[in-house]
Amino acid sequence: MTKAVFIFFCFCGYSLTGFAQDREASTSYELLDWKVSKCEDIYNPYRLLNRIKEQKVSSGNSILSIHFSENCCAEIQPRVETVNDSLIISTSLPNEDDEVEVVAECDCRCSFTMELQIRGELLENQAIYLNDRKIEYSEDFYKTVPVSSSSYQGQEINRTNKYGHREGRWLTFNKAGGIEMEILYPESSLLKKGERIWWKKYSESGMLLFYTSPDSTARWNERGDLLSEIVNYQKGDTTFQRRNRWHENLSIHLRWLERAYLTTIGSERDTAVTMEIIENEYVYREEYYETGQPSLLKVRDTTFRWFPNGDLEELRYPNGRQKFYKTGQLESQFREWKEKGKKGQWHSEHQLSVLFDAENQIKMISYSPSDVQPTSEVMDLTLYVWQWDKFKNLISDPPNWEGPYPWSSIESIVNLLPEYELE
């Protein structure tokens, strides 16, 4: 009798335990609430390890914080389900056919943090899957590698951290054992690959050949002569870049100062519409031949260009330019201007080009007006051409031209053409 009772209780105990295990295994979880961060640009989404950042229980419910990488354009709407003791998390809702809809992808990825509030307590060793891939708790946001470094003259060099990012001073050596290249990285680069603070390149004899940093860049020859330099600096909201370059004979080749600043421009069609742009302009730019003779000077909106003998080759100014033969005679003249359009329309643009022969006689004039019709967004581009022979005889003109000549108000052109051509 005693033995039978003992067997009975054992059987009942086993049955209750088995029932509890079956019930625990068949627990169904329900998503109560969720939220997801905006794109987190402090991480490298292409290396990110999909992981559980935090898992806790509050008032009988489980709270999961998941860090993951996803397409920039993904519409994240999570759902959860339990399959064979595993918690399955999907970041997209299914469509009517129970298939996850695929949204058109952008050409980029982002890292996100998603927090889920789930009804019920997750098991201690609960298997959790995110979009069909198992994820686990980890404090590391990238896959880890062994930390490594080397030593040179008693100093640590060529160090990589647990994420494979370079840190500190890095050296490469030439065949003779001398330093070929020296690079300085940030002392700690965990979130992203560290940008170079500066780097230097040396010749086999140990002479510095090249140096660059965010603020400056310089290049030398093997004798130690400076060949070029770039210096960046800022004054208020304006960024400046100064450049100097020298010829191989060490005479000055280029002097350049450029500035960039934020400005506001308006629309031609609607003056109420404005936008901010970064404007780049020369304060000055000077170029020289190896002889020291100036070859180019650009100041604000005017540019001079010279032949090696010092004669003017080209002059550029607002809305026009002139080009000269080596003899000093005018070779071509170009003008452009705008006429304000009616409200809601673009301004019309006009271009007039005049070509001269070596005797300073006009041989061709071309005119191109660009108009936008009131019923169209497309510019109407037409080219009109007049040509003369060396005796000032008009040998070609546009058959469909009507109205006064486009150069009739330009005295320097009018004086070079026969009077009868202007009637």
Domain borders along the chain are: 30-94+107-137, 144-214
Give the CA angle between residues 364, 368, 370 to the nearest 5°.
Answer: 175
Indicate the pLDDT class of residue 23, thresholds 50, 70 and 90: very low
pLDDT of residue 303 exceeding 90: yes
pLDDT exceeds 70 at position 404: yes
User: What would the pLDDT profile of 202-219 be if each residue is shown by its tens digit?
Assistant: 999 999 999 999 999 999
CB 239 within 8 A of CB 263: no
pTM of the model: 0.69
Q: Cα torsion for 216, 221, 224, 230, to the nearest 10°? A: -20
Note the pLDDT tens digit of each residue in 139-183: 999 999 999 999 999 999 999 999 999 999 999 999 999 999 999
**For range 343-364, the mean pLDDT:** 84
* Average pLDDT, rounded, for the chain: 85
* Cα–Cα distance, 63 to 121 (Å, whole number): 9
pLDDT of residue 7: 39
Whether 323 contacts 307, CB under 8 Å: no
The half-sphere exposure of 36 on its side-chain side, counting CA atoms within 13 A, is 17
| The one-letter amino acid at 422 | L
Distance CA 385, CA 335 (A): 15
Closest CA to 234 of 211, 219, 214, 256: 214
Report strand pairing: 86-90 vs 127-130. Answer: parallel
Burial 269-289 (b: 16+ CB within 10 A, else e): eeeeeeeeeeeeeeeebbbbb
Task: Look at residue 206 in the predicted model and tell me its pLDDT.
Answer: 94
Q: Locate 107 and state its tokens.
A: 């050409």
**Separation between Cα atoms, residue 222 and residue 179, nearest integer Å:** 15
Query: What is the reported pLDDT for 260?
Result: 94
Whole-number Å distance between alpha carbons of 286 and 305:
10
Sheet with 86-90, side-by-side order of all strands: 79-83, 86-90, 127-130, 133-135
Mean pLDDT of 324-338: 92
Report d(CA 37, CA 54) in Å as an integer: 15
Binning pLDDT at 50, 70 and 90, where does residue 304 land?
very high
Cβ contact 165:143 at 8 Å: no
Residue 9 — very low, low, confident or very high, per pLDDT cuts 50/70/90?
very low
> What mean pLDDT is predicted for residues 58-76?
91
Q: Say what the pLDDT of residue 269 is.
A: 58
* Strand locations in 174-326 (E): 179-184, 198-202, 208-212, 216-220, 226-235, 238-246, 252-266, 274-288, 294-299, 302-306, 312-317, 320-324
pLDDT tens digits, one per residue of 245-298: 999 999 999 999 999 999 887 765 566 778 888 889 989 999 999 999 999 999
Average pLDDT for residues 107-131, to the nearest whole number? Answer: 90
pLDDT bracket for residue 74 (50, 70, 90): confident
Q: Which of 194, 169, 173 is nearest to 183 (CA)?
A: 169
423 pLDDT exceeds 50? no
Averaged pLDDT, 401-419? 81
